[in-house]
Amino acid sequence: MKFRNLLLIIFLAVTFQAEAQQPTLLPQFTFYKLDGKAFSNSDIKQGKKNLFILFDCTCEHCQRESKNLNANYARFKDVNIYMITMDEAFIIPQFFNSYAKGLDAKPNVLVLQDKKRLFIPTFLPKQYPAMYLYSPAGKLLMYQSGDGGIKKMLTVVGK
């Protein structure tokens, strides 16, 4: 019984440590556009900062942060914005119509589905929404999660 408890403690410690450390370089990924076509690192538009946002359509924090992003869109117009969700395609337009009308139609915004559920084990977010701002070279500039992330991103986006 003691050996089993020790294994559990080690597992939890390793899991907690992994969650606490964000990848410092943009990880390899494959997500899917709403038309079902694959989108990976090689498809990123070059020469701009890249903002990856993991959101859930039913998450109140995600709803508020998307609304805030939409309200401050002018400050993000020179950033590639990739909004990733594990939600089904049918609910996604309703999310944008309700909380960030027109954001998903902006030329630098791409909504992607994480159909294989790889975002969480690859990017290691702590909570929804999770926001990762990367330099054009793929270096992590800022990670934020939960409420207030867009406001904090504003301090780094223009630099």
Domain boundaries defined on the chain: 23-157
- CA–CA distance, 127 with 114 (Å, rounded to integer): 16
Q: What are phi and psi of 52, to 5 degrees?
A: -105, 125
Q: Which amino acid is at 158?
A: G
CATH topology of domain 23-157: Glutaredoxin (3.40.30)
- 24: burial class by Cβ within 10 Å (0-12, 13-18, 19+)? exposed
Q: What share of the chain is helix, strand, coil (3-state, %, to 5)?
A: 40, 25, 35
pTM of the full structure: 0.85
Residue with tokens 């294994």: 7
- Token reading at 90: 């049918």
Would you give per-residue pLDDT tens digits along the chain (159 residues)? 454 444 445 544 444 444 456 679 999 999 999 999 999 999 999 999 999 999 999 999 999 999 999 999 999 999 999 999 999 999 999 999 999 999 999 999 999 999 999 999 999 999 999 999 999 999 999 999 999 999 999 999 865
DSSP-derived secondary structure letter, 27: P
> How far is the CA of 148 from the CAs of 9, 32, 129, 133, 142, in angstroms?
33, 27, 10, 14, 13
- Angle at CA of residue 123, ends 113 and 136, nearest 5°: 85
